[in-house]
Amino acid sequence: MRILFLPPGQARLAPPRPAVFEVSNLARELLLVLTGPGNYDDSARKYDRAAQARLRRILLDELHESPEQRLHLPEPHDDRLRAIAVRLYDNPADNTSLPDLGRAIGASARTLSRLFQSELGMTYYEWRTQLRVYRALILLAEGHDTTCTAHACGWSNPSHFIAAFTNLIGTTPGRYRADQRS
C-alpha cells in the first residue's frame, strides 16, 4: 500500500470521500516515484518541489480519467458463510468467535476458515473488520462520533477502531467525519 498526501490546492481536485480507482500503468509508476526511495533514501534520486507538484498533478489527471470502483465487501455464496454474514450485517458488533459461529450453523471453524479464504480471499476476522469499517462509514456520515461508532461496530477500544479504520480507508474517522460535514 502506498499513501500520498496532497497539498490543499491539489487535494481539492481529488474526490472528497474515500474512493477506489482502477490504476493505470502511468498512475502506478507516478505513485511509486512519489512515495519511493527519494523520500527517505539520501542516495536515491530526488525530485524538487516543482517537479513533485507536476507529478502529483499528472497523477490526479490520471485518476480523474480512471473509472472509480465501488468500495466492495465480498459477498459469500456458500450457505454457511451467508448465515454468518446475515448475522453480522444485522449486528456488526457481534464478537462471537468463529468456532462458536461454526457450532451455531453446524460447521467446524476449520471448514469456515477454508471457505472464507477460498471464496472471499481473506480470513473471517479480516472480512468482519471490513464489514465493521463499512458500517462505520455510514455511522460517521450520519454524524455519530468516533467513540459511539467504535462501540456500535464492535470495538471495545476506540483506538483499535481508529487504527483499523485508518488502515482500510486511509484517513482517521475524525477526519472522515469532518470531511463529510464540509
Write the pLDDT tens digit of every residue in 135-175: 998 898 888 999 999 999 999 999 999 999 988 887 889 88
Instruction: Write down the pLDDT at residue 119.
Output: 94
Q: Indicate the fold that domain 79-181 takes in CATH.
A: Arc Repressor Mutant, subunit A (1.10.10)
| Per-domain residue ranges of the chain | 8-69, 79-181
Maximum separation of any 2 CA atoms in the chain, in Å:
61
Beta strands in the chain (DSSP E): 20-21, 68-69
68 C-beta neighbours (distance < 10 Å), count: 12
What is the average pLDDT score of the chain? 88
